[in-house]
C-alpha cells in the first residue's frame, strides 16, 4: 500500500479506500473535508462520510456527526439529532460526547434542564479521567445540583481535576478547590492551602483566582502582606475585565500602595469598574468629581 506524500495525495489515497468501504479511510476522509486539509473545506461532504462511519457504530464519528447537527455545519441545525448522536457516542464511552451531553442538560440547551441527567453524563466522563468533567461534577456536588450537596465529594472531584499530573491541572478546579479551603467548605479552613490553589489557577490565567490571590496579598491572608504582589495580580485580573480587580487596583493607585500614588490611574481603573456597575467605583468617582469641583470653587 503506497503511503501518501502530501495532503492532496492523502485525499486521493483515503478516497480510494473509503469508496471500497474501509471505515478508517472513510473517517479520515470526513476529517479532511471538515478541516479543509488537502481539499477545499466542504461540511456537506464531511457530513456524508461521517454519517457512513457513524451508522457502523463508530463512537468518534457519531460524536462528530452530533457536533455538525449541533452547530449546523453542512446541515440545518437540529438539536434533537445532535443529542441523538451524542447519546449513541456517549453510551459507547466517548468522553467528549459525555461531557457535551452533561453541559447540554446542565444548561438546558434546547432540552429540558435536567441536573440529574447532567450529573450522570459528567460522572461517566469524569470516571474516565476527563478533567473538565471532574471539575463540572465537583461543581454539581458543591452547589447541590441534581444531587444532595456534599462538600467532601465536591473536594474529591475538584482535586482530581486540579492536581497537575501530565498537564498543569484544570484551572477552574484549582480555583474552586482554593475557594473551598478559603471558606472551610468540607475541609478545615486553610488560607495557605487556598493560596496554593489560587496561585496554580492564577498562573494559568484564571481571572477570579488572580483577583483572590491579589486580595490575599493585599490583606496578608495566608501569606505575608505584599502590596506590590497584590498590584501584580489585581492588574492581571483587571486587564481581563474583572470589575472587583479594577476597583481594587484603582484603590491601590489612590492610596499609593505597591505603586506610586496616582489619582489619574485610580480614576482610569474606577471608571472601567464603574462601567460594569460596580457601586463602590461609581461612588468613588462621584466623590472625586465633587472634590474637584470644591477645589475649583474654593476662594484663593
Question: If 0-12 CB within 10 Å is exposed, 13-18 middle and 19+ buried, where does residue 73 land?
Answer: middle
Q: How many CB atoms lie within 10 A of CB 288?
A: 15
Q: Write down the mean pLDDT value for the chain.
A: 93
183, 193 in Cβ contact below 8 A? no
- Model's pTM, two decimal places? 0.84
Q: By three-state DSSP, how is residue 30 classified?
A: helix
Per DSSP, 4 falls in state P
pLDDT in tens, 231-288: 999 999 999 999 999 999 999 999 999 999 999 999 999 999 999 999 999 999 998 8
Q: What is the pLDDT of residue 296?
A: 35
Side-chain-facing half-sphere of 207: CA atoms under 13 Å: 11
- 47, pLDDT greater than 60: yes
As a whole number of angstroms, the distance between CA 145 and CA 51 comes to 35
- Mean local confidence (pLDDT), 169-192: 97
Q: Which residue has the cell 452547589?
A: 143
As a whole number of angstroms, the distance between CA 60 and CA 300 comes to 79
Q: What is the pLDDT of residue 141?
A: 98
pLDDT in tens, 112-162: 999 999 999 999 999 999 999 999 999 999 999 999 999 999 999 999 999
- 297, pLDDT greater than 70: no
Q: How many CB atoms lie within 10 A of CB 20?
A: 9
User: What is the torsional sign of CA 198, 173, 163, 192?
Assistant: positive
Q: pLDDT class for 292, splitting at 50, 70, 90?
A: low
pLDDT in tens, 56-113: 999 999 999 999 999 999 999 999 999 999 999 999 999 999 999 999 999 999 899 9
As a whole number of angstroms, the distance between CA 205 and CA 53 comes to 39
Q: pLDDT class for 300, splitting at 50, 70, 90?
A: very low
Q: What is the pLDDT of residue 164?
A: 77
Amino acid at each position: 500500500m503506497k503511503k501518501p506524500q502530501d495532503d492532496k495525495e492523502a485525499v486521493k489515497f483515503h478516497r480510494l479506500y473509503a469508496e471500497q468501504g474501509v471505515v478508517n479511510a472513510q473517517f479520515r476522509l470526513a476529517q479532511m473535508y471538515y478541516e479543509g486539509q488537502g481539499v477545499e473545506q466542504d461540511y456537506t461532504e464531511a457530513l456524508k462520510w461521517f454519517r457512513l462511519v457513524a451508522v457502523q457504530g463508530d463512537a468518534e464519528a457519531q460524536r462528530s456527526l452530533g457536533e455538525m447537527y449541533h452547530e449546523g455545519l453542512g446541515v440545518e441545525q437540529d438539536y434533537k439529532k445532535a443529542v441523538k448522536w451524542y447519546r449513541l457516542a456517549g453510551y459507547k464511552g466517548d468522553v467528549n460526547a459525555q461531557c457535551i451531553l452533561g453541559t447540554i442538560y446542565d444548561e438546558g440547551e434546547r432540552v429540558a434542564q435536567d441536573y440529574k441527567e447532567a450529573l450522570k453524563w459528567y460522572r461517566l466522563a469524569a470516571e474516565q479521567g476527563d478533567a473538565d468533567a471532574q471539575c463540572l461534577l465537583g461543581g454539581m456536588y458543591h452547589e447541590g445540583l441534581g444531587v444532595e450537596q456534599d462538600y467532601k465529594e465536591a473536594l474529591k472531584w475538584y482535586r482530581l481535576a486540579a492536581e497537575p499530573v501530565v498537564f498543569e491541572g484544570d484551572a477552574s478546579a484549582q480555583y474552586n478547590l482554593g475557594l473551598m479551603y478559603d471558606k472551610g467548605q468540607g475541609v478545615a479552613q486553610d488560607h495557605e492551602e487556598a493560596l496554593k490553589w489560587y496561585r496554580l489557577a492564577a498562573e494559568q490565567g484564571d481571572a477570579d483566582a488572580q483577583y483572590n490571590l491579589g486580595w490575599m496579598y493585599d490583606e496578608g491572608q495566608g501569606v505575608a502582606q505584599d502590596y506590590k504582589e497584590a498590584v501584580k495580580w489585581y492588574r492581571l485580573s483587571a486587564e481581563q475585565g474583572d470589575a472587583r480587580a479594577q476597583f481594587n487596583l484603582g484603590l491601590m493607585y489612590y492610596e499609593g500602595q505597591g505603586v506610586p500614588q496616582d489619582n489619574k490611574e485610580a480614576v482610569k481603573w474606577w471608571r472601567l469598574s464603574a462601567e460594569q456597575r460596580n457601586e463602590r467605583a461609581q461612588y468613588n468617582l462621584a466623590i472625586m468629581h465633587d472634590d474637584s469641583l470644591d477645589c475649583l470653587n474654593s476662594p484663593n
